[in-house]
Structure 1
Amino acid sequence: MLKDCLEVFKRQMQQVKEKGRAEDALILDSYIPADGCYISVNSDGIIACQMDLKFNKKAKQMEGISQRYYGKMCFFDYHSRLVSMDKPVDPKKVIHSNNYLSFWVKQESLGNGKLNQEAIDRYFDVLKNPEKKYAKSKDRQMYDYIAAQIDEINVEKLEWCRDWVKKHIFSLEDMGISLSGKNYLKIFFEDTEERYIQEEQRYLITKIFNKNDYNQEIDGKIWGLPNDNLGMNQKKPYMAHKTRKTELPYMITAEDAVLQRKFFDYLYNQASAGKVNIYIDPEKGEISAFSKEEKMQKDFTGYYLYVQKGKEVQIMHQDVIVDYRYHLRKRFQYINVFDRKTEEELYRDYGTVGQMESLLNEILFSKWLVTNYFTPVDELQISGETARNLIWSRDAIFAWLYKNETQNISGILSKVSVNMIKDSIKNGYISKAVKQFNLKCSLEEYFSGGEPMSTDYESIRKELRRKIQSKETEQITSDEEYYYAVGQLVNYFISLSKAKDKKHSLANPFFNIKNNQALKDKLRQYFIKYNYQLKCSGTWFNNLYAMICNYTKAEKTDQNSMIAGYINNNILYQKKNMEEQVNE
């Protein structure tokens, strides 16, 4: 799959080149330099430009940009980077750039003694005589391979840069440069773009593979193990293929390794800007990047990558998406099952993946879903029931919304809904539980093909209210009505509690009961516990409790109807003729 993604990326770079721009413009257009002080020195040794760059993570943009020089500074910076801090030019890792036209150092090193004349000479000596650094046969093979393709080192320019650094690096304030003492100090000596690229290549090709000891030369081309998201060492013995003659997971040419590195550079830029969702369309040759909160707003078939920024960019998840459609094949109707005529804006039709995802994200997962599809379990910043249900269901939800895989999604969302409803009730968030219950019922109706729900709670409520106001005790006629009535009665009992810290978790024993006789026994316990507050003349309560006691047909516990009765407004507290209330 990575190879297919690279082909699309290569086509995009070629398209950029055909428009008269450098092929690296695809990377540089989204390039984000590290925070720090950037200095450009011209051929006369004069500072031509100085910028204090900082990336504003909230606004997702660079601060301190000089429009005239920013593009050039990004070019210099991009072509002066190390492959990693494990592959430095300076063996003591004080200086972090890769060629003699640039000089990077942490500002703190200027004052703590790490940067001195010896360190400066150490850096430039390596660049002046790279053959000494690459004395090992395999390393020397890589250096000779690239040295034959580029110009020789401009020793005169190298020494000029060395002298400038030695003379001015510790007295930049005299030249009008004010340093904060934090982040990077990066000095660039102006030269042609070709020279910068060549000097980068002199370093890069010798370091492009994971370890040159693994390299093999075949038909004049050098093959090796790439660096990106891959490594082989004593800590990763599982990466070796012990049953093959060559133990490496896979090998690519140096040219392909350079292309792959550029692709990962592009991904790193996107991740740095918060655009972690990458969509690659092989047919159209397009690459699109979106933040966690954004959505691809068109139909799509191709490759999907979820990336994360660390010391390097990491591909945390990859998949092939066959038939993503931004607009739902069938519109979802979010209804209030207790009052279908409600005008609350939340209860309406939803027609896109983005809208559906936002609804699930807010109602069921308290806004933790969208940003945590692929977050490792040990890095989740939530716990409890929300975390457990998120971990259990997020793969299925992603597959449903983004890959149109509906297998088991109905049952999974139903189970999650029940769990989250119970959790909301336990924590006293009844209005939230109502919304979650309505979503659960709406999802069941949606996945049933649009068939109306078998249980009409609005009608049950109206009928139950009529019955409790009757002068004679009537009968409950269905299991749904019975369990709804039980939920109302449980809610009423708990409302009578005199406890200072009254919790809805008192209802949990009722929700978890599987046997109807055990349920009636539990209700009797609560009646005995709270009957000192109940007047014999309380007709509404007497009728409700009598109807529940008299109903014997219930077989399987209907947890949905019991929860519906519990979280809905209690009919025993509603006014009769706007004046008379129960027990008065």
Structure 2
Amino acid sequence: MPNKKFHSINFLSLFFKLEESEYVSENLKKYFDIFRDFNTSNDAKDKEIISFNSDYIKDENRQSLIANSVVLCQKYFNGIKDFAGQNNFKKCYIKFFINEDLKLYEKESRIYLDLKIYNSNEYNITHNDEILGLSNFNTGMNSKKPFLEHKSRLFKIPYVISQKDALATKMLFDWLGSQNKITVRDFDSIFMSKFNKNSKAVVSDFEYVPVSESNFKFDKLKIKDFMDIKNGEREILSFDDFKQVIDEQLYQKRLFGNLYNDEIRVSKLLSEDMQNLLYQTRHSMIEYFEKFNSNEFYYVIQKYSNDFIKVAMQDGEFGRLNAKKSINLLLSIKETKGEKVDIDEIKNRVISALTDDNITKLNGNEYYFLVGNLAMRLVNKSKGWKKTFALTESYTKARNTKKLKMILFSDFDRYKYDIFIGDEILRKAFLLAQNCEDLVMSNSDQQMVLIGMTAKNIIKKSGEKDEVNE
């Protein structure tokens, strides 16, 4: 009907807004006549669907029931409308229900569902005297943007389903829409995540997961204290503990609250670097922590290890401590994959080189550890009131030793007024840092610079304190 004044879908009910009573009363018979043959649609596909129910629709008993519905609604219409007015019902719906068998309601509703259950009846096909069509859920055909259509594809639509399956799908999505949660775990071996859009559920991820958390094999992890911090060692005995430590020490407790958030906003508590890190890595975290699939997890942890450390360093209050915890965790994970790094041995060799009378050439790890430590020694001389790791940004962005040496030279020149003539250990460290070929730095090389920055400063005079916030 015009302007959708009638809101019911069969001749057994009548729904309308109270303020539309006059229009509904005048057009009551015309409305019920629609259900006599459903001939209002000129669409060929709609007519084909109606034809499957033509015998039932034209049945004389059904036609008699429609006529009876008209009589009943006309008989009680004014009385119900007046009752609503007398009781000050405003802007409400009036709903009539004819007292008939529930099975009749189901039959009539089925005709409406047959017409509306698919995404578009344009794509319907008939197979073995059954209508098949395109699902109306998690499917979009860009009908308003035909230029987005794949012109080279053999078929326009991906698949078709039966009306029975379409109805079952609708019931499933109606149920999903009522669930106040993102991940749905009500089905054995099925992982599903969803969000609601315009009050309708949209499945964003769906996968068969034969492993559950209870039978997932988790190898215990011992976090070693590589960075000399209080209570640095810790044993991770369960999957839940590992999940917690990853969130706390790599994501600063920002991971699981943003695992499915597509609009992560930068704020005082969440930096732009953390935002980027979450977007880049969370898929692998979902695969591991939600689906128990470790294929990508360790690769991603190592690939973004330096970013995790840099993000931890940004915290003005706890930057150094957070970074040390991140390094302890990352190096411990690396050890489980057979890659061992002995920070104490590297540090001792650098100290030995600093006290040696000769200018020796340090190997890779020793050199990059020294550069990181020296960088911190120099930026400590900044006269800024608040000294944080932001002062080292130029070092953390360097991708080759030539750039590192240039930055060191620049800082040495910048702070030379504060470098005492007798500060031999600082001058020795600078000479050792300049004694290196021009090399492209690997991810591990850059990580060792970060480790050198966060480690206790070994390039300082006796009794001198670190000034960067711990």
Q: TM-score range by the shorter chain?
A: 0.7 to 0.9
- Aligned match for 1:560, one of 431, 435, 447: 447
SS at match of 1:92: helix
Partners of 2:11 and 2:32 within 8 A in 1: yes
Deviation at 1:208, TM superposition (A): 2.1
- Aligned match for 2:342, one of 456, 464, 483: 456
Aligned to 2:52: 145
Q: Check 1:157–1:426 CA distance in 2 against 1; reply closer, same or farther (3 A cut).
A: same
Partners of 2:249 and 2:326 within 8 A in 1: yes
Partners of 2:323 and 2:454 within 8 A in 1: yes
Aligned to 1:416: 304
Name the amino acid aligned to 2:46.
D
- Aligned match for 1:349, one of 226, 236, 251: 236
Aligned length: 444
Q: Check 1:220–1:511 CA distance in 2 against 1; reply closer, same or farther (3 A cut).
A: closer
Q: Is 1:126 the counterpart of 2:24 in the alignment?
A: no
Aligned to 1:93: 4
Aligned to 1:507: 392
Distance in 1, Cα, partners of 2:327 & 2:241 = 19
Q: Gapped runs of 5+ residues in structure 2?
A: none
SS at match of 2:145: coil
Bigger strand fraction: 1
Q: Is 1:385 the counterpart of 2:273 in the alignment?
A: yes
Structure 2 counterparts to residues 394-543 of structure 1, below 5 A = 394-402=282-290, 406-407=294-295, 409-425=297-313, 428=316, 429-446=319-336, 448=337, 451=338, 454-458=340-344, 460=346, 479-500=364-385, 504-516=389-401, 518-536=403-421, 542-543=424-425
- Aligned match for 1:277, one of 175, 183, 189: 183
Distance in 2, Cα, partners of 1:221 & 1:104 = 32
- Aligned match for 1:117, one of 9, 22, 25: 22
Deviation at 1:413, TM superposition (A): 2.0
Aligned to 1:226: 135
Aligned to 2:166: 257
Structure 2 counterparts to residues 161-200 of structure 1, below 5 A = 167-168=79-80, 172=84, 174-175=86-87, 187=95, 189=97, 193-200=102-109
Deviation at 1:349, TM superposition (A): 0.2
Aligned to 1:339: 228
Q: Check 1:217–1:511 CA distance in 2 against 1; reply closer, same or farther (3 A cut).
A: closer
Provide the TM-score with structure 1 as the length reference. Answer: 0.61
Distance in 1, Cα, partners of 2:347 & 2:451 = 10
Deviations 1:171-191 (A, max 9, x none): 6475486x7x7xx85857485
Partners of 2:232 and 2:325 within 8 A in 1: no
SS at match of 2:172: helix
Distance in 1, Cα, partners of 2:110 & 2:211 = 41
Deviation at 1:498, TM superposition (A): 1.6
Distance in 2, Cα, partners of 1:394 & 1:126 = 54
Distance in 1, Cα, partners of 2:217 & 2:436 = 41
Aligned to 1:364: 250
Name the amino acid aligned to 1:266.
W
Partners of 2:252 and 2:312 within 8 A in 1: no
Q: Check 1:467–1:154 CA distance in 2 against 1; reply closer, same or farther (3 A cut).
A: same
Deviation at 1:560, TM superposition (A): 1.7
Distance in 2, Cα, partners of 1:119 & 1:547 = 91
Greater mean deviation of Cα atoms: 489-498 or 563-572? 563-572
Provide the TM-score with structure 2 as the length reference. Answer: 0.74
Deviations 1:60-79 (A, max 9, x none): xxxxxxxxxxxxxxxxxxxx
Aligned to 2:118: 209
Distance in 2, Cα, partners of 1:439 & 1:100 = 68
Aligned to 1:235: 145
Deviations 1:526-548 (A, max 9, x none): 2332233344555xxx3254245
SS at match of 2:219: strand
Distance in 1, Cα, partners of 2:452 & 2:252 = 24
- Aligned match for 1:329, one of 213, 218, 224: 218
Partners of 1:511 and 1:559 within 8 A in 2: yes
Deviation at 1:170, TM superposition (A): 7.8
Partners of 2:375 and 2:408 within 8 A in 1: yes
Deviation at 1:157, TM superposition (A): 4.8
Distance in 2, Cα, partners of 1:514 & 1:252 = 55
Q: Gapped runs of 5+ residues in structure 1?
A: 1-89, 280-286, 289-299
Distance in 2, Cα, partners of 1:335 & 1:547 = 28
The alignment's C-alpha RMSD in Å is 4.5
SS at match of 1:329: coil
Distance in 2, Cα, partners of 1:536 & 1:169 = 100
Name the amino acid aligned to 2:111.
R
Aligned to 1:546: 428
Deviation at 1:520, TM superposition (A): 3.8
Deviations 1:501-522 (A, max 9, x none): 6553331222333444553443
Distance in 1, Cα, partners of 2:85 & 2:235 = 63
